[in-house]
Amino acid sequence: MNHTERATLDPVLWRAREAAFPPGQFVGQESFVTADEVLSLAARAGVAPGVRVLDLCCGVAGPGLHVTAELGCTYVGVDADPHAVLRGRRRAAERALAARVEVGRVPPLPPGEFDVVLLLETMLAFRDKADLVAQVAAALPVGGRFAFTVEEGAPLTASERAAMPASDTVWPVALPQLVSDLDAAGMQVTSVSACTASHLATVDGLLGAYRAFAPAISAVAGEEFADDLLRSHALWRTWLRTRRIRKFAVVAEKVAW
């Protein structure tokens, strides 16, 4: 998709997502988490004025900028998509926030030390979670926190992988395995909050909105893109409803070994 097509598609997707969330709960996220859930997770991770926050795979940085505005932290967002980063920078400038949004692929993590690392709704995309967790731990001082959402479940079967568009970015993990990976990196889980039910409600809203906006989405991005969007969200609805996948928001703290 070229720059012109993306610039035309983004407002359509924005309107669809905005329609899918309850009032006040959409802040630019391309995921299932609500604005209140983002703030709750950030608060449990100790985000506050003066706290240095690194937001990995931030997209247009909607949730991260929301956290920055509400909790007063110093924010750095990183994403591989230059178009998303440009939009994030513009939004940060418009709101006069103490925030930077940079282009970067993860891993590796950007240099520097941070008090909190956020990873919202993209743990799923990392096949090697042990390596990711180890790199996050290296960016944190003792007492630093890693706050993230995670899709918990067994690996996809061959038929599930064939049914899910972009399945090379869909790598659920068993919670005990993830806790073991965190422990091996010197991080101890301090908070776990279940969010399967709320994310199922969000998926229902998104699926309805994408169906309503399908003609407009197809006109810009093509029918295949629109069909994949609907198909993936229908699968997520089934998986969350049957608890094939469960969603959790987790905080882990780096401890001294």
CB atoms within 10 A of CB 6: 16
List, in order of start, the domains of the chain with CATH numbers.
Answer: 3-9+24-199+244-254 (3.40.50.150)
Mean pLDDT confidence for 210-238: 96
Looking up tokens 């940079």 gives: 102
The per-residue pLDDT for 1 is 53
* Pairing verdict, β 74-79 and 52-56: parallel
**Mind listing the pLDDT tens digit for each residue in 97-125?**
989 999 999 999 998 889 999 999 999 99
Q: List CB contacts of 41: < 8 A, sequence separation 6 or more.
A: 118, 120, 147, 149, 193, 249, 251
The residues pairing with 101 across neighbouring beta strands, listed in sequence order, are 77
The per-residue pLDDT for 21 is 96
**Mind listing the pLDDT tens digit for each residue in 129-175?**
999 999 999 999 999 999 999 999 999 999 999 999 999 999 999 99
Q: pTM for the full model?
A: 0.94
**Mind listing the pLDDT tens digit for each residue in 5-62?**
566 788 999 999 999 999 999 999 999 999 999 999 999 999 999 999 999 999 999 9
Q: How confident is the model at residue 257 (pLDDT cuts 50, 70, 90)?
A: low
DSSP 8-state code for residue 31: S
Q: Tell me the CA distances in angstroms from 252 to 135, 178, 225, one per residue in order.
A: 14, 11, 36
Task: Tell whether the model's pLDDT for residue 2 goes beyond 70.
Answer: no
Average pLDDT, the chain: 94
Task: Tell whether the model's pLDDT for residue 68 goes beyond 80.
Answer: yes
